[in-house]
Each structure stands twice: as C-alpha cells, then as structure tokens.
Amino acid sequence: MLKQTEGSHAIAESVALCRPEVICAYPITPQTHIVEGLGEMVKAGELQNCEFINVESEFAALSVAIGASAAGARTYTATASQGLLFMAEAVYNAAGLGLPIVMTIGNRAIGAPINIWNDHTDSMSMRDAGWIQLYAETNQEAADLHIQAFRLAEELSMPVMVCVDGFILTHAYERLDIPTQEQVDAYLPPFEPRQVLDPSEPVSIGAMVGPEAFMEVRYLAHHKQMRALELIPQLSAEFRQVFGRDSGGLMRTYRAEDAKTIVVALGSVNGTIKDVIDELRDEGYAIGAATILSFRPFPSEELHELLSHAKRLVVIEKSLAVGIGGIVSHNLRMALSGISLHAYTVVAGLGGRPITKSSLRSLFERALRDELEPLTFLDLNQSAVDRELEREKARRRSGPSAENILRDLAGGAR
Amino acid sequence: MELQPIKFYQTGTFTVGNRLLDADQRSVQANMERTNSLNSGHRACQGCGEALGARYAIDAAMRASNNQVIACNATGCLEVFSTPYPETSWQIPWIHSLFGNAAAVATGVMAAMKVKGRKDVRVIAQGGDGGTTDIGFGCLSGMFDRNDDVLYICYDNQAYMNTGVQRSSATPPAARTATTMALGPEPGAVFGQGKNVPLIAMAHGIPYVATASVAYLRDLEAKVSRAMTVRGARYIHILVPCPLGWGAAPHDTIKLARLAVETGLFPLFEAEHGEVTSSNKIRHRVPVEEYLKPQKRFAHLFGKTPAVDTLARIQEMADRNIRKFRLMDERRHG
Amino acid sequence: MFQVRIHGRGGQGVVSAAEMLSVAAFLEDKHAQAFPSFGSERMGAPVMAFCRIDSKEIRLREPVMNPDALIIQDPTLLHQVDLFSGVTTEGLILINSTRSFAELGIGDFVEGFHPDLLCTVPATELALKHVGRPLPNAALLGGFAAVCDQVRLESVFAAIREKFSGKVAEGNVAAAREAFEIVMKEREEASHA
C-alpha cells in the first residue's frame, strides 16, 4: 500500500512482514525507531509468533540473535555506530558460524568526538566481518532490501547487514509502497536452517578448529559471498516479478552509457548526485553515476566493465580510512586492474556534514577539468584546521582539539 | 537421541550404596541408563574438577528434562577440552559462541524454543569463573534481570586456567596466579571485597540460586534436579578444583573441594527469590590451613616465617561465612 | 519544488509539523519529503524541520537552505537564531504570534516582501483553546493552508487525523480550522480596506 511514512517505520513494517521469530532490541540513535516500531507490533499482537527481547547491550543483542538463529528461528536486530563496535566480536562470530541473521545498520559516525549524525564509518568498520552488506539509496529500497536480505541470508546461511543512512533516511517521511503479506509470503519461504540445535539430532556448533581446517572454513565463507554475486541479481529480478519494482541488485547506473566521468557512491547521497548529474548532462557534459548497492560481496566485474570506457572516476566516500583516504576507492582499485583513468577520492559528509547540491556541482566541475587532488575533503574548513595546527605549534599543552575547534568556530578561540 | 550404554566402571562409587535407596533417590550417575552427555575421551587434565562437575550437572539436567537439553558454552577450558573437532564429547546439542556471551546465547535459544512451542526443551548456559564473574557478567545479569528460562552453571576454579592461570574476580585473596605473583610485601591476590556472584544472583531476585561442590556430588545432582523443576532464571555455582592452577595433586581434587566446604570458605546453600532457604551444615569443621597447605598457590603463606596475619584474615573469612550462612549446627555449637 | 523550513523549540511539535505537512501533500498525490534537522536537542532548545513538496520524485537529500516558506512556531527565537537564512523577498513567512511583523521588530526586514505572503497567527492561543496544551503546530498548518496553495485545509485535517486520534485529533483539527478562518478573514478585510 502506498503511504507517506517514516523510513524507520517502513523498515519495521517490512521486517514484520518477513515473519521474524526473535527480535533483540537495544536502543541507539538513529536506529531506535525501527525496534520501537517492531516492539509495538509484538506488544499489540499485530506481529504474532515473535519473541521481542530487550537486552542489556548490543553485544547481548547479537549474542541472543546468535542463539536464536542457531536454534532455527528467523532472527532480526538493528544497531548503529558505537553499538556496532560494541558487538564487533559477535558480528564476526555470527558470520563465522554461518547464521542467517538480518541486521539493520542506521549508519552513523563513530566517536570520539561523539557524534550522532550520519556517515558510513560504522558499517565500513565491519566490512570484512563476513556479513553481506547492502546499502539502501531510498526508504523504499531500505524497506525492500530487508525482504531480499532474509531470503539471501537463509539461502546462503550467512548474515546480512542492511545499511540505511541514519536520520537522512531513518527519520525521513517519504512516499513508499509497503507490500502485502501475500506478496512477501510468495517471495520469502519459511526458514529451513542448514544447521540447528535440536535434541532429537544433537550437533556441536562452534568447536575449536585448528590449522588443519581453518583455511578451508574461511575459504568457504568467501565462496559463499562469491555465490552471492550471482544470487543478489537473481533475487532482485525475482523481487521485481513479485512486487513490480526495481530494488536491490549489486549496483545500478544512472546516465552512465556514454559517460566519460563516472561518480560512484553508496547510499542516500546518490539522490543528490543524480540531481547534479541531470544539470551537468543538460549542459552537455558526459557524466554519469553508479550506486554500489552490495559492498560485500563487492561487484568488481560489473564496476570493471562500467569503468573500462571512462576517463575519470570520482568516488564520494562517507567514511575516512585515516592514514590512506577512502575505503570504497581502495576497494575499487581491485576493479580497476588494466584500466587507466583519473581516479579521485572525495571524503564527504562525515559526522552529518550536509552534502549539498552546490558543493557537489563545483566538485564535479573541478573533476571534469581534472583540477581535483587525488584526495579531497568536501567542504572542509581548512582555515579552522590551520588555526588549530597553529595553536598546537604554539603550545605543548594545547588541549583537546575537538573542543578547541568548537570554541574557535564559536569565535572564542584562545 | 540414542542413549549410550554406560559401562559399570563409569557409574561411580555410589553404585553399591545406591542399591539400598529407593529408585527415585538413586544417583543419576549410578544409573546405567544415564546419558553420558559429556562423553569420555575428552582432553581435560587428570583430576579436572570441571569435567567431573559438568558431567554430573548435565546428566542430572538431562534426566530431569527427559533428555531435552540444549547447552550453550562460554569459551574456556570446558569448551576447549571437550571439542577439539571432530572429537566432540558432547552427546547433546551444544553451541559455543564467545567468551562473554553464553548467557545471552542461551536466552536466544530459549526464545527460539518458546516461539516454536518447544517448552519441553530446557536450555543450559555454562562457563568458567572468568566467563561468568568477569567477561560474561553483563550478559549474565541481563539474563537474570529478564528472568529468562535458562539454567546458568558456573564451574568456578578460581582463575583463568585455560590461558595459563591468571587472576579472575573469583580468585581468592593471597592466591598466587600468573598475574598475582607471590612477590613483595603482600604476595598473591589482594584482599578485595570479592565478587560473590551467587549473592549477586540472589540480589536479582531470581527463583533459584545454589552453590555446589564436586566433593558432594549427590548434593550437586539434587540441586541441578531441583533447578530443573523451576522456570525462569536459575544459577548454580560449583566449586571445581583445578590441579594445574591450584598446584595440587590430581588425586586431591575431591579432597580439596571437601576441605573448601569444611573450612567454611565455600559455603553450600540454596536460595529462592533472593532468600537463603537452606545451607549444608559442616559436620567436621577444619581450620583453613588444612585446605590451603596442600595447594602450591598458597605455598608462600607457609614458608620459613608463616604468614600468620594473612592466614588469620583468611580464617576470618571462613568464620564470617559460617555465621552468615549458618553452616554449623546451632544446637550443638551455639 | 516547494521547500518549507519550520523553526521552533524542542517539545513544540516542530518535527511533527513537517511530517504532517508532508502527509497532507502526499494525500494530494504529490511527492513530499519531511525530515528533522537531526539534533540531539532537548526540550526548549531551538530545532528545525524541513518539508519538500514536488510533483515528481524528490531525490535531493540536503537540508533546506533556501526555503520558499518559513514557519516560525516560537517568536522568541526571532532575535536568537538566524531564522531567515536563505529566505528571499519572494518567500512566505508564517509566525505564531498575536502581534504584527512590525510589533515583533522585523518590520524593516520584511520590507519588499509580498504583504500577502506575510502572516501571523495566534497558534498557541488556539492550541490552548482547542487542545488544552501549547502545541501550535496544527494551528500553524491551518494558517499555512490559508496563505499557501501547496496544500488544502482538508488535507491538513486528514494529516492531523493520521498523526493523532480521538479528542486530541479533533482538538487540533478545530485549532487548524480556526487559524485558517482567522487568516481568511484578515485577508478579506485587507482586500476591502
């Protein structure tokens, strides 16, 4: 049904339609509305046959999910930012055990300095934990991806993270279509676990594995993700058949056919990028964009194919690999093997800094003239940075730099 | 699951005495029909108290639940010695996830069983003292707080034995470990306030808490069986001597476990909803030296100049326990 | 695309106002996008929310920096926060107040604006009268429907009823209706003057 609703609420409704059996909840901004919504549905009896468990930490949230999934229940949880880091050990464990848990990440920065706003540092920190990572561009897609995620997770017996930009999507009211229970039931069969804790057929799960088998077990995890490269487009196509719209897939392009300059990004910023591309196209520039939907597994082949005819690549990154630059760019290098082009990394939107149309426009114009540095920090207040560097030079005990910058910007620098 | 036949020598020394008892009062281990949940052939050290405690506890839980048990294990000795795959010793569905999350994983299994309408399946979480009183404490407290239908069993050998005998919050004062060396003016572990997890469990008001010892295996079986009749969060804390970590002879495991009880250092009691309901009386009280002396971890207390003050403080701890938990028969002694 | 920025204080229903406005637009088959200024502000702190309305899909994700309309829920913010950032003389300004723009001390600022796009509504008083609580958002949306053709009053009513239920919904609907009528009456009198 078409409705105007909050992103978090749409995700909650979508998850509920997937008939989850165990949901573990721990509050952290900005994912909280999602589990609140699900909790309400369970409490009101709208979502039946589901245990909603309030836990004492994110570590417990995912640990409860591990137990529930291993015992054969369809299991869901959500987190963000510090919460994802707090459960990091269990994140790796869930993947290592091959448990098909679905978890929403309401993408948010990592402190210090503490910051509740959006960027991708949280989920990027777990990119190699063995989970499939899908990034939603719109709230419609966020809702849809959860339905695909359960199917994907359970077919492969591995966990899936659905990454949704915090606030920008989670708290935005938009028009979207919530599918019917019949549609979801037609798409998502009941969970048939590959491994299950069952007294009638006892197995040991989570045994110690030595050097004689560890490599093989790890390789199989990689192999599963390589299978996901085939499965994700299939599931997206099947989704289209049942629900009548395009959602998901490995990546999608926008006006990229004859583009000499390709902009690559993940998540909601692609909306603003498309608006800018339209303007530049109208002015005759051969520029297009690619949205990476599946960051793990990484669609190297598709990106290689797309970029093989391009002259320029501009990667917009909502995370910073301190000491080297961009994580997405770094991953893209593998796909660029044998392709010669100008590649620009642009770190943007950290800690919720708005990525505006006008900033992107002037950025792309500079890229089109090849005037960009290999690594650019979009809308960085360089003079504020310089003043702090001066303070550090002037005094040994210059104090905490975050607080210094804030004081400086408020006009009260010492 | 299929039951494995138990050989006569595996039924333990109680077998003969058991024949004098009514069938329902006989030891689980003495029963040749018992499940042998933690099978022989595992890689625990000689004289391991934990292996003994776990086998008795899980077999008793199996009998009490008609063999419908799922166990969740914290990382630690028990996990490592029982499952160097493919040689798992577990004859029951068993999962190991992490060091600090056994209680939470058990909550998850419990939730799955509930939603699938399998209330007959009972869930046990188990770990050592490190996985329980230290790194797993948050998850344990959360499970208690929600009163989840899980029996948590802590096998307390009073240090991180799996990693080579380092101090945990269950390590007793003055004990030498790899991180509380027997050096300096106050050798061994410090005299802190201690972290008495059975009492902390009681403070959560959960329906059942008990302490047990591998020296009193019938008592241990009885407490596990009792715990299985209760729904909600339950906690059993079992003292399991570790020959390696305590510096004691493997054949002294049972003796040391008994001395810990008879000195009053490890009181045996049961509690329901936060109140102590019974304690095991000490029939033959012994001074703490008798318990401490055979253990190399306390050897520095018995050197050329015995650490009289330290021994007095440990004796005080024992005396306090005896008063607090009414461990002496008051008609006879008081 | 029509862009609205709503200013107020935490606890005054600023975010709900933007959400209800987007629902009202949606009910008229338009595309709308509402979102808060993403703060961790507590009760009483200055907050913002945004709403975009368009006939086609809205892809833009930046905050509203050049609003076509400004709704100010709390006039005590007027001289504390840069409320008018990005507003042009073509802009619409709706303020929750019993006083006029001149009385509020911004008479000079709005010189050159279209007089019929400047409006004050006693929304707090209307909310107290009809809802019993000083939550001016619904009344302001009623006033907004009177000065702006982006949404109709009936759609505002429907959006209010989607957000609230029972007595609270009807109280807010009544407040919105009276705000709408007050503005329309003022307009009528002005045109006859």
Q: pLDDT of A13-32, one tens digit each? A: 999 999 999 999 999 999 99
Chains A and C, touching by 3 or more CB pairs within 8 angstroms? yes
To the nearest 10 degrees (0 to 180), the angle between helices C166-192 and C153-163 is: 160
pTM above 0.90? Answer: yes
- Assess whether A74 and A156 both reside in one domain: yes
Residue B22's pLDDT is what? 72
Residue B40's pLDDT is what? 87
Residue C79's CATH number: 3.40.920.10
Distances in Å between the Cα of A172 and the Cα atoms of A15, B156, C23 are: 18, 51, 12
Which chain B residues touch A214 with a CB distance below 8 Å?
Answer: none
- Assess whether A388 and A373 both reside in one domain: no
Which chain B residues touch A49 with a CB distance below 8 Å?
Answer: 115
Residue A210 sits at φ, ψ, to 5 deg, of -90, -175
The answer to whether residue B3 sits within a structural domain is no
- Assess whether A106 and A255 both reside in one domain: no
What is the rounded CA–CA span in Å between residue B266 and residue B169? 15
Count of structural domains within chain A? 3
- Assess whether A149 and A194 both reside in one domain: yes
Residue B103's pLDDT is what? 98
Q: pLDDT of B58-108, one tens digit each? A: 999 999 999 999 999 999 999 999 998 788 999 999 999 999 999 999 999
Chains C and B, touching by 3 or more CB pairs within 8 angstroms? no
Pairing of strands B234-239, A132-135: unpaired
Q: pLDDT of C75-122, one tens digit each? A: 999 988 889 999 999 999 999 999 999 999 999 999 999 999 999 999
SS3 category, A178:
coil
Residue A193 CB neighbour total at 10 angstroms: 18
Question: Is A235's pLDDT higher than 60?
Answer: yes
Range from A15-29, B11-25, B273-287 carrying the lowest mean pLDDT? B11-25
CB pairs under 8 A between A and C: 63
Can you say whether residue C123 is alpha, beta or left, with left for phi > 0 and alpha for psi between -120 and 50 degrees? alpha
Residue A154's CATH number: 3.40.50.970
Looking at the complex, report in whole angstroms how far the Cα of residue A192 sits from the nearest Cα belonging to chain B.
13
- Assess whether A390 and A369 both reside in one domain: no
To the nearest 10 degrees (0 to 180), the angle between helices A327-335 and A300-307 is: 80
Q: Give the H or E element holding residue A229.
A: helix A214-243
Burial (CB < 10 A; 0-12, 13-18, 19+), residue B25, is exposed
Asked if B3 has any chain A CB less than 8 Å from its own CB, the reply is no
Residue A365's CATH number: 3.40.50.920
Q: Contact at 8 Å (CB) between B129 and B74? A: no
What is the rounded CA–CA span in Å between residue B217 and residue B316? 27
pLDDT above 70 covers what percent of chain B? 90
What is the rounded CA–CA span in Å between residue B91 and residue A209? 19
* Alpha-carbon dihedral angle through residues B59, B63, B68, B73, given to the nearest 10 degrees: -20
DSSP B118-181: -TT-EEEEEEEHIIIIITTHHHHHHHHHHT-SEEEEEEE-SSBTTTTSB--TTPPTT---SSS-
Q: Contact at 8 Å (CB) between A166 and A107? A: yes
ipTM value greater than 0.90: yes
The answer to whether residue B279 sits within a structural domain is yes
Where does a domain end: A204, A223, A243? A243
The answer to whether residue B4 sits within a structural domain is no
What residues make up the domain containing A398? 382-414
- Assess whether A186 and A91 both reside in one domain: yes
- Assess whether A83 and A147 both reside in one domain: yes
Residue B191 CB neighbour total at 10 angstroms: 14
Count of structural domains within chain B? 1
Distances in Å between the Cα of B123 and the Cα atoms of B70, B104, B153 are: 5, 11, 11
The answer to whether residue B123 sits within a structural domain is yes
Per-residue pLDDT averaged across B28-51, rounded? 87
| Contact (CB<8Å) A275/C22 | no
What is the rounded CA–CA span in Å between residue B89 and residue A274? 59
- Assess whether A45 and A165 both reside in one domain: yes
Q: pLDDT of A26-63, one tens digit each? A: 999 999 999 999 999 999 999 999 999 999 999 999 99
What is the rounded CA–CA span in Å between residue B77 and residue A136? 43
Nearest Cα to Cα of residue B51 among B161, B175, B165: B161
Q: Contact at 8 Å (CB) between A88 and A59? A: no
Residue A23 sits at φ, ψ, to 5 deg, of -125, 130
The answer to whether residue B10 sits within a structural domain is no
- Assess whether A233 and A307 both reside in one domain: no
Model confidence at A332, pLDDT cuts 50, 70, 90, reads very high
Q: pLDDT of A98-135, one tens digit each? A: 999 999 999 999 999 999 999 999 999 999 999 999 99
Among chain A residues, CA nearest to B66: A199
- Assess whether A306 and A207 both reside in one domain: no
Residue B67, token pair as written in the block: 């063999």
Residue B307's CATH number: 3.40.50.970
Q: Contact at 8 Å (CB) between A123 and A133? A: yes
What is the rounded CA–CA span in Å between residue B22 and residue A173? 70
The answer to whether residue B5 sits within a structural domain is no
- DSSP-assigned beta bridge partners for residue B127: B154
Burial (CB < 10 A; 0-12, 13-18, 19+), residue A56, is middle
| Contact (CB<8Å) A199/B90 | no
Looking at the complex, report in whole angstroms how far the Cα of residue A174 sits from the nearest Cα belonging to chain C.
5
Count of structural domains within chain C? 1
Asked if C31 has any chain A CB less than 8 Å from its own CB, the reply is yes
Name the more confident of B10 and C10. Answer: C10
Question: Is A360's pLDDT higher than 70?
Answer: yes
| Contact (CB<8Å) A171/C38 | yes
What residues make up the domain containing B147? 18-333
* Alpha-carbon dihedral angle through residues C103, C105, C107, C113, given to the nearest 10 degrees: -110
| Contact (CB<8Å) A57/B92 | no
Q: Closest CB to C38: pick one of A3, A167, A174.
A: A167
> From the DSSP assignment, how many helices (H) and strands (E) are in chain C?
5, 6
What is the rounded CA–CA span in Å between residue A88 and residue A17? 28
Q: pLDDT of A144-188, one tens digit each? A: 999 999 999 999 999 999 999 999 999 999 999 999 999 999 999
Burial (CB < 10 A; 0-12, 13-18, 19+), residue A351, is middle
Per-residue pLDDT averaged across C56-62, rounded? 97
Q: Contact at 8 Å (CB) between A16 and A38? A: yes
- Assess whether A133 and A273 both reside in one domain: no
Neighbour subunits, B (≥3 Cβ pairs < 8 A): A
What residues make up the domain containing C175? 2-192
Can you say whether residue A60 is alpha, beta or left, with left for phi > 0 and alpha for psi between -120 and 50 degrees? alpha
- Assess whether A92 and A160 both reside in one domain: yes
